[in-house]
Chains A and B, each alone.
Chain A
């Protein structure tokens, strides 16, 4: 990472106010309650690479996605895209930044307006960002071109979203994101609503697009096998905090954090290697009232008294590999079985 990364997230935190209404609080004498959905998260994504965020439900993956595209604002911390922060940009600079950072949503059945024709859906960013003037072709031609790029027919632009399958809708959503000519795509579980057979097609399409257009992805998923297919670098989230951050091959070969090991152990063994799978134990704790010390200690088999009292920070284990765990720091973890 010699040159400056395309996206730089530093010390990002976001709290949500989950207090009861003012009147109830006054009557029942309850304090204000805050939920820390994202807790001091930092990572960087170099241009052209894919950074994946993995974690269970409620680990703050989607909140980070919304923070990065500025659908919600952070409580603290900064998100720099190409050295500039979206919430602080004004005027023309804001529009350009807005255009360059786009998002592919999780549910292709909710992300396309059911009353709009596909052609209008895909053309919306072109009109919204005033790109029509800079193009050599007409908007209609451009829409057909985009449909062709994502593997649909140009005449499909006359149809409504309900006439398509989930995979086809996700292709339309990708075409819409591409029509803004973005550099950076946030993909919030783009395949989790799709059939397994279609997932691979969409993932391959996204990889092809990355190669052709030089896109940079923030890829969010709870599916380790999908992440392994896509990511250059992986960040593991637990209860809003990054517990491990490592290059993809390194993470799978040598997982450090006990939580990462637990997730990797749970991957289905399709190759029938006879690997002993351990089911994931326990559930993610209530983020309104997180455990003391390391938030993972109630589920961790290596936890000791220090884990219950102190909060670990991300430390480098080997080179580009970071983990936040006292057991790793004190080197008292048994060697993990690599999942090659």
Chain B
């Protein structure tokens, strides 16, 4: 019998770290300074938000720790009554804006990540189902997607939010607001995942490895999740990264409009809304700093997502 053995007794696989450093992706990453800066900024904001209780110099939403005498302290200056210093200044009640941003970014990121995860699970699941089953299941799911896509995301989110307001009893509304927000943003964003996954599934399911699996009488759900899913996840990562930026902005928009998280748990959007009341009376820092944070966060995440899309696209190499 003829043999085609692979030569040598080389080690089977290099270490994980070695493979990351050697990869094309890593090379393209360190070669684009804008992306490195964006990634570092994103990482700093995410870490700062995650460790807010340990980093923040004040606990801004504990009324007992607030001193009204500290109200409207400008950034980087000493308060004339108490002698305290706040790097980003304080708002009307003497709350430290820097601490408020850390806690606010926490809520924004939590909602953003959860909404993206929810949209991803929903979209990928429905996309797989539509692509694999075809027929009326496919038509039904994709027509719902088409209809939803013809409305702006913010309108869909507002609609879902409005409905939930009517369904949930008033005394629980504040506790459940965050979950409703995640649900609303997630439901307004699943279509992209579903469309992408559906089209890849439709091309994958006709490949011979799927037919081979059918010959081994592998049940359809196992074929979908073990065979097809690993082969359609490539574009998902890219959509999710860009979707994260969109979800954070959508959350801030909703909070800015006053339909998002309750005032006791402000997100970046809430902080911007509160601050803009004081913009024309000269206390610019209350709204500008949360706004800048949101801008940097959304821009960085978007830039990383854009880079990822190009770096993972073999046609652009």
Residues on A facing B (Cβ under 8 Å): 66, 69, 71, 94-95, 98, 101-103, 105-107, 110-116, 124-125, 128-129, 151-153, 155-156, 158-159, 165, 167-168, 171, 173, 176, 180, 201, 204-205, 208
Contact = CB atoms under 8 A, between A and B. Distances in A.
A101 B215 CA distance: 8
B211 interface: yes
A205 B3 CA distance: 10
B279 interface: no
Nearest to B217: A98
Given A71-B211, A111-B209, A152-B5, A128 B216 contact: yes
B211 A156 contact: no
B22 interface: no
B231 interface: yes
B231 A167 contact: no
B185 to A, nearest CB: 31
Given A95-B217, A128-B217, A128-B218, A151 B3 contact: yes
B4 interface: yes
Contacts of B4: 151-152, 165, 167-168, 171, 201
B231 A151 contact: no
A165 B213 CA distance: 22
Interface string B208-230: 11011111111000000001001
**When A and B form their complex, which 10 residue pairs have the shortest distance between CB atoms, in order from nearest?**
A111-B208, A115-B230, A128-B216, A105-B208, A151-B3, A113-B209, A110-B208, A110-B207, A125-B216, A153-B5
A151 B2 contact: yes
B210 to A, nearest CB: 8
Interface string B6-27: 1000001100000000000000
Contacts of B227: 113
A163 B191 CA distance: 36
Given A95-B217, A111-B212, 11 more contacts: A71-B214, A101-B215, A102-B215, A113-B213, A115-B231, A124-B213, A124-B216, A128-B218, A152-B4, A153-B5, A165-B4
Contacts of A167: 4
A107 B217 contact: no
Nearest to A164: B6
Given A105-B208, A115-B231, A156-B6, A151 B1 contact: yes
B209 A110 contact: yes
A208 to B, nearest CB: 6
Nearest to A112: B209
B233 to A, nearest CB: 9
B212 A103 contact: yes
Nearest to B219: A128
A204 B2 contact: yes
The winner among B12, B208, B215 for most chain A CB atoms within 10 A is B215
Contacts of A102: 215
A186 to B, nearest CB: 9
Nearest to B218: A128
16 contacts: A69-B215, A71-B211, A95-B217, A98-B215, A105-B211, A106-B208, A113-B231, A114-B231, A128-B218, A151-B3, A152-B5, A153-B5, A153-B6, A155-B12, A167-B4, A208-B1
Contacts of A180: 216
A167 B230 CA distance: 25
B217 A201 contact: no
A159 B230 CA distance: 17
B5 A205 contact: no
Contacts of A156: 6
Contact of A129 (B5, B12, B207, B216): B216
Interface string B189-220: 00000000000000000011101111111100
A113 B13 CA distance: 19
A10 to B, nearest CB: 23
Interface in B1-55: 1-6, 12-13
Contacts of B231: 113-115
A95 B219 CA distance: 12
B13 to A, nearest CB: 7
B234 to A, nearest CB: 10
B283 to A, nearest CB: 55
Contacts of B1: 151, 204-205, 208
